Amino acid sequence: MDVVSLLATGLQVALNPVNLLYCLIGVSLGTAIGVLPGVGPVITIALLLPLSFGLPVESSIILLAGIYYGASYGGSTTSILVNLPGEASSAVTCIDGHQMAKKGRAGAALAVAALGSFFAGTVGTLLIALAGPPLAAIAMRFGAAEYAALVFAALLMVATMTRGGAVKGIGAALLGIIFGLAGADVMTGVFRFTFGAPELRDGIDFAALAVGLFAIAEIIDNISSPSRDNSSTSAIGRLWPTKDDFRKAWPAVLRGTGIGALLGVLPGAGVAMSSFSAYMVEKNVAKEPERFGEGAIEGVAAPESANNAAAQTGFIPTLLLGIPGSPVMALLLGAFMIHGVAPGPRMMSEHAPLFWGLIASMWIGNLFLVLLNLPLIGLWVRLLKVPYHWLYVFVLAFACVGVFTMGSSAFQVYVLIFFGLLGYLLKAAGLSPALFILGFILGPMFEENFRRAMAVSHGDPLVFFQRPISLIFILLGLAILALATTSFVRRGREEAAEG
């Protein structure tokens, strides 16, 4: 079947009234949590994982995906109106977006952000549809050695590009790998790291771990923090941009879309790096760079387009290779696994309605977001008035009930509490809980493929260097590690010299 026929099949799935409803709920909820600083899509998706288990797989994934890319839209609203980014990727939008709001042009900034995001999201979704079949064909040639090398490179890339340094990044990932090994051995079936608990024979429950690591840890981390100041909003003004705004914005939207689409595919780059990179490119190519920081419309159009394009193309390695490049993608991969679906090169053939239905729902979801965002700006801003300590009570109750009902076992609540405390300790130590969960998911995948490759080669480790694809991945991972180490050593010498 060609792409058009497959997309038609996907539209039938996406336009199912139930799936359409969950798409609307997902993008609406995503916009709302994008507006609220400190909540974010990671915590929300982690909380909804236990409940999504009871939904059909198509509805569940469409809902969770809508939350993810919907949050990219919502973050721009508070960045522009109150200089308070709801998402890290929207932080750069504050620079020029809020300056426009202070000049009474918040409406134009919000409209350009929404339209640029819609265009970028549409292009990103189209790239998934076009790149899917050829990438799946290439990935079908991967054997155990190639997959092991790919996971090795992905882990190193994400760990070394995370804020806090390569050593802490790799340490967090290794800790996650250790916890991911609990349960039955993939080759022998022998139980390991279960400590006599029968509940751990199938491994640690992913939903309880994710909710504890993100939601509960976030509550513990913020419960002693002072209440945030809900600053007053600026007047929105005229919503539709002027012709001059469009003339300046459309090249920035195109460049931002291209940058975001490229960086979104790379593990570890993410939407935040995409938005910052797009902003710096616009400032460098501008004839009047001094306008940036004073309310330049390009300073809103480029980063908002970049982060939404990256949010879409980030699905490519997750869906087609089974390799999550960000914490949200790791949670979505866990959601697939909860429903018994293994993302990878065979997903397009074995789960075609789900794959193409998800892609079609992204187009519909992006359209929903444009129609929702501008008319409901007032509602989103009112959410900022909600005291945070009210949210903590609901999140805690929601987390405990959701995890308990999934397995009808108090043991899962203990797991939830344990990983809540562990997540808090990781953050206090400067280690990334996001990398922990990536290690938890990718570690068993690496072990399984590594041991299979070694079994096929009768214990010869050269199998990873004799196959060209696996050799390229290994050299790429080592090069990234070498660059990160060199940068770390150089920075240490500079600090010693200054001291």
The answer on pLDDT for 397 being more than 70 is: yes
Contact 91, 295 (CB under 8 A): no
Q: How far apart are CA 24 and CA 329, in angstroms?
A: 20
Domain tally, the chain: 1
Q: How far apart are CA 90 and CA 73, in angstroms?
A: 9
Phi and psi torsions of 191, nearest 5°: -75, 140
Average pLDDT (232-244) is: 63
What integer best gives the mean pLDDT of the chain?
77
**The tokens of 474 are what?**
């290994």
Place of tokens 């309605």: 353
* Predicted confidence band of residue 21 (pLDDT cuts 50, 70, 90): very high
Geometric angle at alpha carbon 368, from 366 and 369, rounded to 5°? 65
pLDDT digits (tens, 9 = 90+) for 177-198: 888 888 877 777 788 888 877 8
DSSP 215: I
Contact 343, 320 (CB under 8 A): yes
Contact 66, 104 (CB under 8 A): no
Q: What is the dihedral of CA 289, 269, 344, 188, to 10 degrees?
A: 180
How many residues in the chain? 499
Between residues 10 and 141, the one the model is more confident about = 10
Distance between first and last Cα of the chain: 65
| Among candidate residues 25, 26, 36, the one with its CA nearest the CA of residue 380 | 36
The answer on pLDDT for 233 being more than 60 is: no
Contact 128, 363 (CB under 8 A): no
The answer on pLDDT for 496 being more than 50 is: no
Q: How far apart are CA 34 and CA 209, in angstroms?
A: 23
Contact 107, 237 (CB under 8 A): yes
Residue type, 161: M
Q: What is the pLDDT of residue 18?
A: 92
Residue type, 263: L
The answer on pLDDT for 48 being more than 60 is: yes
**The tokens of 393 are what?**
């009570």
The answer on pLDDT for 135 being more than 80 is: no
Q: Who's near 425: CB < 8 A, 6+ residues apart?
A: none
Geometric angle at alpha carbon 458, from 456 and 462, rounded to 5°? 85
What is the span of the domain harbouring residue 443?
3-498
- 69-102 burial, b at 16+ Cβ within 10 Å, e below that, comes to bbbbbbbbbbbbbbbbbbbbbbbbbbbbbbbbbe
pLDDT digits (tens, 9 = 90+) for 279-309: 878 887 888 877 887 888 888 888 888 888 8
Q: How far apart are CA 462 and CA 467, in angstroms?
A: 9
The answer on pLDDT for 497 being more than 80 is: no
pLDDT digits (tens, 9 = 90+) for 196-221: 778 787 788 777 787 788 777 777 77
Contact 473, 145 (CB under 8 A): no
pLDDT digits (tens, 9 = 90+) for 68-107: 888 777 777 767 776 665 555 666 777 788 788 878 777 7
* Strand ranges (E), 189-248: 191-192
Contact 75, 110 (CB under 8 A): no
Three-state DSSP at 192 gives strand
Geometric angle at alpha carbon 339, from 333 and 343, rounded to 5°? 40
The answer on pLDDT for 229 being more than 70 is: no
Q: Who's near 111: CB < 8 A, 6+ residues apart?
A: 239, 240, 241, 374
| Among candidate residues 92, 67, 98, the one with its CA nearest the CA of residue 302 | 92
CA 394 to chain centre: 24
| Among candidate residues 68, 22, 51, 117, the one with its CA nearest the CA of residue 367 | 117
Three-state DSSP at 453 gives helix
- Other beta carbons within 10 Å of 6: 20
Average pLDDT (9-21) is: 89
